[in-house]
Amino acid sequence: MNVGIIGCGFIGDELAKFIDKNNEFKLIGLNDIDKNKSELLIKRLKSNSPKFMNYNELIKSSDLIIESASKSAVGDILKNKNLDKESKKLLIMSTGGLISNLGLLSKIKNCVIYLPSGAIAGLDAIKSVSNRIKYMSLTTTKPIKALEKAPYIIKNKINLKKLKTKKVIFYGSLSDAINGFPQNINVAATLFLASKFKDIKVIIVADPTTKLNTHEIICQGDFGRITTRTENIPSKNPKTSYLAVLSAINVLKNLKNNVNIG
């Protein structure tokens, strides 16, 4: 299976190294807004010899396209004329980018799209009750470094460095959370896409004493109550948990499995 990766940050780098060691995949192309990142990654790979490609070339030549760039890249990929083919598969890491492109997503008829569960434990259970949910909330707690430079923090002039204990810095809707914290809130976007529940309450907590990314989900309806909590170790990129990488690798492993659980 020919693979192309768009976005060569931490996640793209880790997935490229996994593919490089797996004989079932061949990494043929890389793309990043910073071409140097792509070229440095190519030099670190051992068995594959991918080349830098533009969007058109990469999507046209790849059986599997992996997006690990940013939410702004998602719309450009969905709009590409070479994507919607029966032979194509698309793995999206920046699920927040789908919320503002639901119209484009609905037009995709042939390409198979994969969204890793990432940091959401119990996603299969939430999917099973998607039309029966009456209340849902997501409380995300992150270290200071993970929240710095978020548009919401800058706009509201929040000085995170002054915090001594954990504090709620945001309480609001999914759309406002995605706009205010575009690099922190893929969990909320995936939760919406699985649940189809529009009124998710999103709470974001800054905690200067923690090193973990914590996500607590409460989901209620006539079926009962689902409560999950995950505590994830951040990757080298403080805005990303390593569990996101492991979840994506699991999707890749399952592509050719004839038994899938969940």
- Per residue in 196-248, pLDDT (tens digit) is 999 999 999 999 999 999 999 999 999 999 999 999 988 887 777 889 999 99
User: Which amino acid makes up residue 90?
Assistant: L
- Per residue in 125-148, pLDDT (tens digit) is 999 999 999 999 999 999 999 999
Burial of residue 86 (number of CB atoms within 10 Å: 0-12, 13-18, 19+) = exposed
Residue 260: the pLDDT is 67
Q: Please, where in the chain does CATH 3.40.50.720 lie?
A: 2-118+244-254
215 labelled catalytic? yes
Residue 130, C-beta contacts closer than 8 angstroms, at least 6 positions apart: 194, 195, 196, 197
Q: Please tell us whether the domain made up of 123-238 is placed in CATH 3.60.20.40.
A: no
CATH architecture of structural domain 2-118+244-254: 3-Layer(aba) Sandwich (3.40)
Residue 51: the pLDDT is 94
Residue 220: the pLDDT is 98
Instruction: Say which of 215, 217, 235, 252 is annotated catalytic.
Output: 215
pTM, two decimals, is 0.91
Q: Please, where in the chain does CATH 3.30.360.10 lie?
A: 123-238
